[in-house]
Chain A
């Protein structure tokens, strides 16, 4: 992998730091009057998601991280790994472990596409699409005619996620959900 010097640190660049792949968020160039220049860098650790800041001497370099992001289709889980398939025509499948899928676990639906981050060809993160359509697996019976009122009730979706839905929603209906906030957006247009 190539290495990158501080003045190549741009937002989005993936580099290795302390053994973990990181994505650079921000790079502030600091040059005290007569002194040595340095860079204050904010980056996200792609393994644990933590954001942190540290400084580098100007000209210091870091090794690039072999990090790629693919749109992949969720296929199945064998209990230990969650398997995704590339949609580039290669049909290549890769298994992601629980740590990698954890933030998207409750939104995993077969044939849906996810943004899978690979580090050295291993999945390290799976991001759900912002909006997803899921079927209601269980909820209290709907109240007829109550379409205008603001009340909500919990509904369990086919993936196991529990979201608040309006009172008129019934089992078997397909809903549009914002995965970032786990909020009901409306009935899916069929």
Chain B
């Protein structure tokens, strides 16, 4: 049996170089590096993220899908700006752009707006692009609405699900069979996701910051009115058709958090998935959590962009299949 890594030694070195640049960047900005547990008693309630569980002497625990909860507990305790580079796990996610275990860079800045965080991400990636000598342009800032308008000539926030379904069947006849017979809000999200992933995402080759996602996709971001539309206050960065980063103006309202967790679990039940109890330690941290913006960056995908690699396998020493 072969012991050799999937990634070339050149890429292994490139990863080390990338991590060094990132750490120097945060050092220069007085954002401190933290380490929190990878294994925890609770996990996300998100209906579309599956956690891996581990049997421990304390009972079932979960491998983190992101370090968000623990980092928010630190922020609530007054840590100030913090970052972490750590493994994250998502059950069942395996493909050219997914590996069940991946590396996440996550950072939080108290008293910072979403656009302030956008500027910071832009500086960091620009620094990396320059260091690696790859083509870089200032990210285009666009809304989810604008992208749908440009590609499909419709407003994704005010559209009939039937109209979207007809469009999906016409544009992507080979990609609609999984939509099935779900109903209501979930179906609307499923069709919007299909249109976005098949019709828009892959075309975002130059760097883009996308804002104004539907409120149903808010996760732990605040929601609010922007340009007369109720949207989630978050943004995603795309580069080479890949989702690279995901940022929130972090939700501070604990009753809203409870409400969203209940809704998530209702959906999980409908989908036949196990329900997930809301992390009570996160809940009790909410009242002390300062206004902050937080962001998660997929380090492995970013390395793909910086090294012009086609698949995650090319940038991982030992991808899941040979781990």
Contacts and interface: CB of A to CB of B under 8 A. Distances in A.
B197 interface: yes
A32 B177 contact: no
B174 A40 contact: yes
Nearest to A56: B178
B236 A38 contact: no
B94 A35 contact: no
A3 to B, nearest CB: 16
Contacts of B95: 27-30
A33 B243 contact: yes
Contacts of A7: 92, 94
B266 to A, nearest CB: 15
A53 to B, nearest CB: 4
A7 B190 CA distance: 20
B98 A29 contact: yes
A89 B278 CA distance: 63
Contacts of A30: 95, 197
Contacts of A33: 193, 196, 213, 217, 236, 243, 246
A57 interface: yes
B218 to A, nearest CB: 8
Interface string B167-203: 0000000111110100000000110111011000100
Contacts of B92: 7, 37, 58-59
A90 B230 CA distance: 71
Interface in A26-47: 27-40
A55 B178 contact: yes
B93 interface: yes
Contacts of A173: none
B178 A57 contact: yes
Contact of B190 (A28, A35, A60): A35
Interface string A47-84: 00000111111111000000000000000000000000
B225 interface: no
Contacts of B180: 57
Nearest to A6: B92
Q: Is the contact region of chain B dominated by helix, strand, or loop, or is it mixed?
A: mixed
A35 B191 CA distance: 10
A60 B271 CA distance: 11
Interface in B45-100: 46-48, 92-98
Contacts of B201: 32
A166 B279 CA distance: 79
Contacts of B315: none
A36 B190 contact: yes
A53 B173 CA distance: 9
Contacts of A56: 177-178
Given A54-B177, A55-B175, A57-B180, A32 B93 contact: no
Contacts of A60: 178
Contact of A28 (B46, B96, B189, B192): B96
Contacts of A36: 47-48, 189-190, 193
A39 B98 CA distance: 12
B299 interface: no
Contact of B193 (A35, A57, A59): A35
B243 A52 contact: no
B263 to A, nearest CB: 13
B319 to A, nearest CB: 13
A24 to B, nearest CB: 14
Contacts of B46: 34
A32 B246 CA distance: 12
A40 B177 CA distance: 9
B200 to A, nearest CB: 10
B117 interface: no
Contacts of B189: 34-36
A6 to B, nearest CB: 8
B98 A32 contact: no
Given A28-B95, A54-B174, 19 more contacts: A28-B96, A29-B95, A30-B95, A30-B197, A32-B197, A33-B193, A33-B213, A33-B217, A33-B236, A34-B48, A34-B189, A34-B213, A37-B92, A38-B194, A52-B174, A55-B175, A55-B177, A57-B178, A57-B180
19 contacts: A7-B92, A28-B96, A29-B93, A29-B95, A29-B98, A33-B193, A33-B196, A33-B217, A33-B236, A34-B193, A34-B219, A35-B193, A35-B217, A36-B48, A37-B48, A38-B178, A39-B178, A57-B180, A60-B178
